[in-house]
Structure 1
Amino acid sequence: MNTTKTGVASADVDQYLPESLWKSMLFRAVPAIIGAIVITFTQEHTARFGFIVFGAVALWTGIIVGFEAVGIKGHPLRGFVFARSILGAIAGGFSLFMGTGGHNWATVEAFIWTVATWAIVTGAIELIAGLVFRKQSIYRSEIVFSGAITMLLGIIVAFVPPELDAEYGGLENIEGSLTADVQAVGFVGAYFAVLGVLLIIEAITLRSEMRRRDEQQTADTTVSKES
């Protein structure tokens, strides 16, 4: 058995991680990046707009994570991933209903509590999954980092006062104000950007480590046959 540093690093990725995991990370980065771009380049950050963007990203991500849970054979954390998928689908569907329905329920307070509840519960699920998956690997670090920033989003958004409306001016004395809608939606946009970049980096890193693992296994097999 190879006990070199390279061998240990390969074992950290090990045979327990299916090849498709890095692809799922990459697919999950797409809606997050798109959501961040839409929020960044849209001026009107109302609660209804926030519900629509957050709902679309959450639902899209929930579907992708659902396919990961049921479609990847030998997934090490299938139950946790499936729970996260269901939660994302529910939060996404509810948010889209709030944002697109012909009613007045899409208030900033409702948006704050929807995002905060989803983020705190989802973050907790991911952090618990990281503790359950004890192997030190790139995959575990992605789960922990993702869970940490998701829970942080929930805590930060939960503390946004719904009545916030602070007026500001500027060098050109342009009138405006920082409202709870703008702040809460802005936090969501920042979260999407950070999460998207994190998932891309982790997916590329995991793919690279898996290639090293496969090369190491091939080399070990060749040495065994020759000996």
Structure 2
Amino acid sequence: MEQAVSDAEILLVDDEPGLREAVQAYLEDSGFRVRTAANAQEGWEQLQQARPDLVITDVMMPRVDGYQFLAQLRGDDRFKALPVILLTARGMTGDRIQGYEAGCDDYIAKPFDPDELVVRVENLLRRRRETIAAVADTGNPDLAEVARQVAEIRAMLQQKPQLQTQATPLALDLTPREESVLKLVAQGLMNKEIARELDTSVRNIEKYVSRLFSKTGTNSRTELVRFSLEHGLAD
């Protein structure tokens, strides 16, 4: 499972203690780090503490069901792109359609094969990494796309005082190096320029930018700059 095993963290939300413990144990045996919550409210509280790489949530839960929890996730800019798998005993086509319409990335009906769940988790994490890599600035980027990004970032930087006045403070679990990269991205620098500034390789900067995409739930440099300005993460 490569990177998925070594550093991927999963949030598992299910109100059935037996199933929750069994799925947690199986995922951890497969190399994932797993945090658990007994209901959607606990799950939401966990998300405020640290953003996982993927969420697995039951649908049939008291008070706030899985569809409502998913809607709450998709309504928050931090979690719009967070991969979500719905688990449910309801396997009818209409239920699956409802899940996909609500914004889930995969839908698994109970009872399910634990090996299948692991494979689906791996696939979602792999696709997420590939998406991040595709939008990240590479050593040989398309010049027209770079020009477009630079123009959008410069336009946002001109609005910087206004965006920062409306900034909503947000604490993210960023390393010092990630904070340094984020500040330079927010200044409109591209990966090669950041690499020179921090005396490191472009490849390393690509990795840091990809992590920032994942931690902030953004998918492009322009989204990342706006996010950092609106949440007071950049000077």
Whether the TM-score (by the shorter chain) exceeds 0.5 is: no
Q: Tell me: higher relative CO, structure 1 or 2? Use CA pairs within 8 A at least 6 residues apart.
A: 1
* Greater share of residues in strand: 2
Specify the structure having the higher radius of gyration (Cα): 1
TM norm structure 1: 0.26
TM norm structure 2: 0.25
